[in-house]
Amino acid sequence: EAGVVQSPRYKIIEKKQPVAFWCNPISGHNTLYWYLQNLGQGPELLIRYENEEAVDDSQLPKDRFSAERLKGVDSTLKIQPAELGDSAVYLCASSLNGGASNNEQFFGPGTRLTVL
């Protein structure tokens, strides 16, 4: 069974440029998460989707970040414009059914963003 797929794995951009990250969750997983992981820190949740609905986006900086999951399967996270402080690893995770106490989140390898 394929795991969570993310692309690109690495991205280097100039500040003020836009950037987008793509995630394809495990087949059949209804819940999708985007996390931000700064260097030397643990991941922090940015947004959670149940199917195509964003049910928790309280930590998403909405002035420059946006996300979509139009068909309830794959998802795109966008930053426009990027700032130097956005350099980090962006992780995508999926789970079968968010909310269950024994639900496991499966993580992708992440996209490492460097903003110059």
Footprint of another protein (CB under 8 A): 3-4, 9, 31, 40-45, 48, 56, 91, 93, 95, 98-110
Residue whose CB is less far from another protein, 80 or 103: 103
> Count of alpha carbons within 13 Å of 83, Cβ hemisphere only?
5
Count of residues in the chain: 116
Residue whose CB is less far from another protein, 42 or 85: 42
Residue whose CB is less far from another protein, 14 or 102: 102
User: Which of the 8 DSSP states describes residue 83?
Assistant: -
Query: Could you tell me if 105 and 48 are in contact, meaning their C-beta atoms sit under 8 angstroms apart?
Result: no
Q: How far is the CB of 56 from another protein (least distance, A)?
A: 7
Q: How far is the CB of 80 from another protein (least distance, A)?
A: 26
Q: How far is the CB of 35 from another protein (least distance, A)?
A: 8
Question: Quick one: how far is CA 116 from the chain centroid?
Answer: 21
Dist CA 46 CA 61 (whole Å): 8
